[in-house]
């Protein structure tokens, strides 16, 4: 892949070091930088190499000085009205740059670093006491970035550069000497941090996201060992070290809110530990926030495997955190797919250690993400119900499932793309598509994208089954058919397939074909075609001829045109 | 004047030269790759290794091994 880094600073000093850095990360990536002071030309000139390299990521790292000019150094030269109009001008300039890139590089993710001035305001304390001081101008500009993002929500990623500087401190990041000599503002000792910051966005865009954070209990969620110290003596409370653990739990809760599952994997007596989780007055992460609880004396490897199985996700979707280096080492060796974080030092430092886990960082929040954890709680209720019915048909009927099936609905593009990126198990072809790919399918008249939105008496599951059908003159070809693993066994896939076959009949199509591409993970989908009346005509290729078999299921279908 | 072996090492590595070829008279004029950009990079590497900071006004002018060695000694004194 290719990343283009557009800068207002002179990048010559650090280009080579960045290449070495990327090399050490072992990823195959080409990096293009604009020549010094030619960033604007690179964007306005549509024949410039910036467009020719067709970058997958365009990262815009501009200094506020470049956008606002002289006003940064001499705020009071301009009256309030002029300061406001300077700011408006800069906003217009910047948003036109972003629009140009967005319109001319339709498949490129645009990363915008937010703004901070490398020096303190020259006005001292006066700055925040006047209207449109430097800080207010910069804040207003940073807020404006969200407006820009709202114009191209799927393509733009805002990247929090100013927090990076705040955390490290201006004086450690910048070296004005070098700025005066070579128009590169950064201290050499800051390069590594800057590179990691740039890299974090590459990994956000390219690496698969983790789905579940598995936590240990003793000395991770609270201080001390519950089995020895007892509920009254563990460290968890509103001062001192106990407060640090409470803080850490509040931090972890945010992952749950963002749609990442939390699970427990701890060697303890179940009753001792669950008593703390349910009854300790200062506990934040109560039972309902955990999708799986493995509190027993089995080894952690077995328990982690069980968690992945319970949640129907791959082992490689887990992040495991534990304070015990031996446990961490064991997991690393036995389950190298799991990302292991060994928490060290005082608990007040745990948050910092977690912040460096890029694979848990998300930049988009979809409705499904926000609802997912809620849906899993409902899943538990569904499972309880499953046990109380004598046969499966009875159970499926009792769920009162309703499917809302739509074809080529453009508002579903993001979710559809996300499903192709994330679904590994019930996925017949495992083809990954970007939002742009999906948008192309929606408009090229050669494809139908089917989405199935499943509701049952316990709640709304969202869009959980999806298919992309390629339309040929005489036949339809199922290019993609996948289902979110949390609804496996509910026959929603049958409901969608039936709808596709019905539509094929209406369109006078005599043959529908499909393919099964085997991967390490998609075993649950292997017998999909054979179960639904298709016959195989070559290895992994299946077809069904008119009149199509319509299979029984218990989902009430609603089709809106 | 003695050249600090660390300085020889940094310069040799930076310009891909043999250490024995570096002496007090080695300078920007004699090494083709030693342009003003490489000069800044080299100075930053030396600063990092010796944990010093050269004053802004002299950085552009210390363009020979002798001059750099001289400044290091001043700063270390």
Residue A383: pLDDT band (50, 70, 90) is low
Percent of chain A at pLDDT exceeding 90? 68
A367-559 folds as Aminopeptidase (3.40.630)
More confident residue, A486 or B29: B29
Residue range B46-72: mean pLDDT, rounded: 93
What is the arithmetic mean of pLDDT over A219-243?
91
pLDDT of residue A377: 62
**Considering its fold, how many domains does chain B have in total?**
1
- Cβ–Cβ below 8 Å for A178 and B44: yes
Assess whether pLDDT exceeds 60 at residue A9.
yes
Q: Rounded mean pLDDT of chain A?
A: 90
Higher pLDDT, A395 or A166: A166
Give which of A32, A352, A419 is closest to A168, Cα–Cα. A352
A2-206 placed in CATH 3.10.150.10: no
Q: What string of DSSP letters covers A131-176?
A: TT-HHHHHHHHHHHHHHHHHHSTTTEEEE-HHHHHHHH-HHHHB-H
A177 touches chain B (CB under 8 A): yes
pLDDT at residue A319, rounded to an integer: 96
- Would you say residue A83 has pLDDT above 90? yes
Identify the pLDDT of residue A403.
94
Q: Has residue A197 got a pLDDT over 90?
A: yes
Mean of the pLDDT values across residues A64-83? 93
Q: What pLDDT band is residue A387 in, cutting at 50, 70 and 90? A: low
Same fold: A2-206 with A367-559: no
B interface mutation test: which of A172, A186, A188 has the most B CBs within 10 A? A188
Residue from B41, B46, B55 to probe the interface with A (highest A Cβ count within 10 Å): B41
Domain ranges for chain A: 2-206, 212-360, 367-559
Contacts of B56 in chain A (CB under 8 A): 177, 180-181
Q: Is the pLDDT of residue A534 over 70?
A: yes
Average pLDDT over residues B36-52: 92
- Cβ contact, residue pair A182, B40, below 8 Å: yes
Kindly state whether A76 is in contact with chain B, defined as any CB-CB distance less than 8 angstroms.
no
Q: What is the mean pLDDT of residues A530-540?
A: 90
Quick one: pLDDT band at residue A447, thresholds 50, 70, 90? Answer: very high
- 3-class SS of residue A319: strand
Residues of B in contact with A12 (CB under 8 A): 37
Do B60 and A189 count as a contact with CB atoms less than 8 A apart?
A: no
Q: Mean per-residue pLDDT for A536-548?
A: 90
Nearest residue of B to residue A15, measured between CA atoms? B41
* Mean pLDDT in residue range B36-63: 92
Region A161-166: mean pLDDT is 95
Share above pLDDT 70 across residues of chain A, in percent, rounded to a whole number: 95
pLDDT digits (tens, 9 = 90+) for A367-381: 666 666 666 666 666
- pLDDT reading at A90 higher than 80: yes
Q: What is the pLDDT of residue A318?
A: 96
- Residue labelled with tokens 């201290």: A187
pLDDT in tens, A233-268: 999 988 889 999 999 999 999 999 888 999 999 988
Q: Whole domain around residue B58: which residue ranges?
A: 5-76
Higher pLDDT, A358 or A439: A439
The whole-number pLDDT of residue A486 equals 74
Worst-scoring range by mean pLDDT, A113-127, A178-192, A353-367, B22-36?
A: A353-367
pLDDT digit string, tens, across residues A13-43? 999 999 999 999 888 899 999 999 999 999 9
Contacts of A452 (CB under 8 A, 6+ apart): A403, A404, A405, A463, A464, A465, A466, A492, A495, A496
Query: What is the full DSSP assignment across A337-378?
Result: TSEEEE--S-GGGHHHHHHT-GGG--S---HHHHHHHHHHHH
CB crowding A525-550: b at 16 or more within 10 Å, else e: beebbeebebeeeeeeebbbeeebee
CATH number at B70 reads 1.10.1200.10
Rounded to a whole number of angstroms, the distance from the CA of A179 to the nearest CA of chain B is: 10
Count CB-CB contacts under 10 A for residue A197. 18
The CA distance from B56 to the nearest CA of chain A, in Å, is 6
Hey, what CATH topology would domain A212-360 get? Rossmann fold (3.40.50)
Q: What is the share, in percent, of chain B residues with pLDDT greater than 70?
A: 100
DSSP symbol at A222: B
Residue A537's Cβ-side half-sphere holds a number of Cα atoms within 13 Å equal to: 10
Q: What is the pLDDT of residue A363?
A: 73
Residue A388 pLDDT: 59
What pLDDT score was predicted for residue A370?
64
Q: Average pLDDT in the B24-48 region?
A: 91
Q: How confident is the model at residue A99 (pLDDT cuts 50, 70, 90)?
A: very high
ipTM over 0.85: no
- Above 70 in pLDDT, residue A442? yes
pLDDT band at residue A228 using 50, 70 and 90 as cut-offs:
confident
A82 pLDDT above the threshold of 80: yes
What per-residue confidence (pLDDT) applies to A380? 64
Asked whether residue A521 carries a pLDDT value surpassing 60, the answer given is yes
Please name every residue paired with A263 in a beta bridge, in sequence order, or none if there are none.
A214, A292
């Amino acid at each position: 892949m290719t990343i283009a880094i557009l800068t207002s600073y002179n990048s010559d000093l650090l280009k080579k070091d960045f290449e070495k850095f990327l090399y050490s990360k072992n990823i195959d990536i080409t990096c293009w930088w604009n020549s010094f002071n030619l960033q604007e030309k690179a964007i306005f000139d549509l024949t410039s190499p910036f467009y020719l390299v067709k970058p997958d990521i365009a990262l815009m790292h501009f200094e506020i000085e470049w956008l606002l000019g002289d006003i940064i150094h001499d705020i009071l030269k301009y009256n309030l009205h002029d300061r406001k109009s300077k700011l408006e001008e800069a906003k217009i300039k910047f948003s036109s740059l972003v629009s140009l890139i967005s319109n001319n590089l339709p498949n490129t993710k645009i990363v915008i670093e937010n703004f901070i001035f490398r020096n303190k305001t020259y006005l001292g304390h006066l700055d925040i006491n006047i209207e449109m001081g430097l800080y207010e101008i910069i804040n207003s500009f940073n807020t404006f970035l969200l407006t820009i993002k709202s114009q191209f929500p799927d393509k733009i990623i805002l990247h929090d550069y100013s927090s990076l500087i705040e955390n490290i401190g201006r004086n450690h990041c910048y070296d004005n000497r070098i700025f005066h000599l070579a128009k590169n503002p950064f201290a050499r000792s800051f390069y590594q941090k800057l590179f990691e910051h740039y890299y974090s966005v590459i990994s956000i865009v390219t690496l698969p996201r983790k789905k579940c954070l598995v936590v240990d209990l003793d000395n991770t969620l609270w201080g001390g060992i519950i089995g020895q110290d007892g509920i009254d003596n563990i460290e968890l409370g509103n001062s001192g070290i106990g407060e640090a653990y409470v803080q850490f739990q509040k931090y972890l809760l945010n992952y749950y809110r963002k749609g990442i599952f939390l699970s427990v994997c701890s060697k303890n007596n179940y009753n001792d530990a669950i008593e703390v989780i349910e009854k300790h007055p200062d506990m934040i992460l109560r039972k309902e926030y955990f999708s799986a609880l493995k509190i027993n004396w089995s080894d952690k490897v077995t328990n982690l495997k069980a968690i992945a199985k319970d949640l129907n996700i791959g082992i490689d979707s887990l992040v495991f955190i534990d304070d015990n280096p031996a446990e961490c080492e064991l997991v690393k060796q036995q389950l190298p797919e799991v990302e292991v974080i060994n928490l060290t030092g005082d608990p007040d430092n745990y948050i910092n250690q977690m912040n460096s886990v890029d694979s848990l960082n998300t930049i988009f929040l979809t409705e499904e993400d926000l609802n997912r954890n809620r849906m899993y709680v409902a899943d538990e209720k569904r499972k309880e119900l499953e046990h109380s019915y004598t046969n499966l048909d009875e159970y499926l009927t009792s769920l009162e499932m309703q499917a809302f099936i739509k074809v080529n609905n453009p508002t579903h593009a993001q979710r559809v793309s996300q499903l192709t990126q994330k679904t590994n198990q019930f996925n017949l072809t495992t083809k990954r598509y970007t939002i742009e790919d999906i948008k192309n399918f929606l408009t090229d008249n050669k494809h139908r994208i089917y989405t199935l939105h499943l509701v049952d008496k316990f709640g709304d599951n969202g869009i959980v089954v999806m298919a992309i059908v390629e339309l040929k003159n005489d036949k339809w070809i199922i290019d993609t058919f996948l289902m979110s693993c949390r609804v496996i066994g509910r026959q929603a896939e049958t409901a969608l397939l039936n709808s596709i076959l019905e539509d094929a009949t209406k369109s006078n199509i005599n043959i529908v074909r499909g393919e099964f591409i085997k991967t390490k993970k998609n075993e649950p989908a292997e017998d999909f075609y054979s179960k639904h009346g298709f016959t195989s005509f070559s290895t992994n290729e299946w077809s069904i001829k008119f009149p199509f078999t319509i299979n029984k299921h218990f989902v009430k279908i609603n089709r809106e045109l | 004047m003695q050249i600090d072996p660390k300085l020889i090492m940094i310069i040799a590595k930076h310009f891909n030269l043999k250490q024995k070829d570096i002496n007090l008279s080695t300078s920007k004029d004699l090494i083709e790759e030693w342009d003003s950009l490489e000069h800044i990079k080299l100075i930053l590497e030396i600063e990092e290794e010796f944990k010093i900071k050269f004053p802004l006004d002299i950085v552009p002018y210390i363009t020979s091994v002798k001059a750099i060695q001289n400044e290091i000694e001043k700063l270390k004194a």
